[in-house]
Amino acid sequence: MTTQYDSGRRGSTSFFTFVFALILGAAALVFFLRQATTGLSGRIATMISGRTTAFDTSVPVVVEKIQRLSRLETVVYSVDTVVEGAHASPILPDILAGDRILLVVHGQSIAGIDLSKLKPEDVRIDANNPRSIHVNLPASEVFITSLDNVHTRVYSRTTGLLVPVDQNLESDTRAKAQQQLQAGALSDGILDAARKNARATITTLLYGLGFQQVEVT
């Protein structure tokens, strides 16, 4: 009797263990199928479930998704420099009639592409291959050039003995520094860098939308 009781108990335990393992495996499979959407795991999930993934690759949808990025800032150009502002007399020397200021300037220019300007005609999807797309981006531009007032300061100021201090000289010199900063950023190729970075960002976005052949210019 003892032997028969132990055998039945072991059989009952094995059965419940099997059922529990079956339920646990089914739950793991469901979780995998729900989470596996891309890459190798996505392809395996597709083979198991037989599901297909639908992509909405119409031009209006693509344009809308790109436009959501709005003003895409892709480059920040920073500079530290010294800028001079001066007023001089055509007759008297500076020690008598001059007014001179030196500013230690810290500022930055931010450039990118305003994607709200993207038009439907700028997006072309191959009629024979809906997974192939070409996007022509709007022109890159400098969004803003500004001075960091916390780190921009007067280095020196000298005023002639015969003239009063010009209260506008510092603000005029700051405006001049801002113009020089933007000119320097443009000459260093900030617009080209902004376009290059924007192309990389939009290319990644389009691959994420399901396109397989992407060209962004």
User: DSSP secondary structure string, 166-191?
Assistant: -TTHHHHHHHHHHHHHHHHHHHTTHH
Nearest C-alpha neighbor of 202 from the set 110, 118, 129: 118
Is the distance from CB of 79 to CB of 184 less than 8 angstroms? yes
Q: Which tens digits make up the pLDDT trace of 71-123?
A: 999 999 998 888 888 877 788 787 776 789 888 999 999 999 999 999 999 99
**Rounded Cα distance, 82 and 155, in Å:** 9
Give CA–CA dist 162/141, Å, rounded: 46
pLDDT of residue 20: 58
The CA distance from 172 to 176, in Å, is 6
Run of H or E including 216? strand 213-216
Task: Find the DSSP H helices in the chain.
Answer: 2-35, 39-49, 59-67, 94-97, 169-187, 190-208
Cα radius of gyration rounded to whole Å, the chain? 34
Sign, CA dihedral 61-197-179-165, equals positive
User: Which range is least confidently modeled, 49-58, 122-131, 174-183?
Assistant: 49-58
Cβ distance 199 to 117 under 8 Å? no
pLDDT at 19 over 90: no
Arithmetic mean of pLDDT, 8-25: 60
Q: What is the pLDDT of residues 186-199, one digit of tens each?
A: 999 999 999 999 99
pLDDT tier at 157 (50, 70, 90 boundaries)? Answer: confident
Q: How far is CA 195 from the centre of its chain?
A: 12
Q: Does the reported pTM lie above 0.75?
A: no
d(CA 119, CA 96): 61
Higher pLDDT, 173 or 38: 173
- What are 36-59's pLDDT values in tens digits? 555 555 555 555 555 544 555 678
Domain regions of the chain by residue span: 2-49, 59-216
Burial 110-140 (b: 16+ CB within 10 A, else e): bbbbbbeebeeebbebeeeeeebbebebbeb
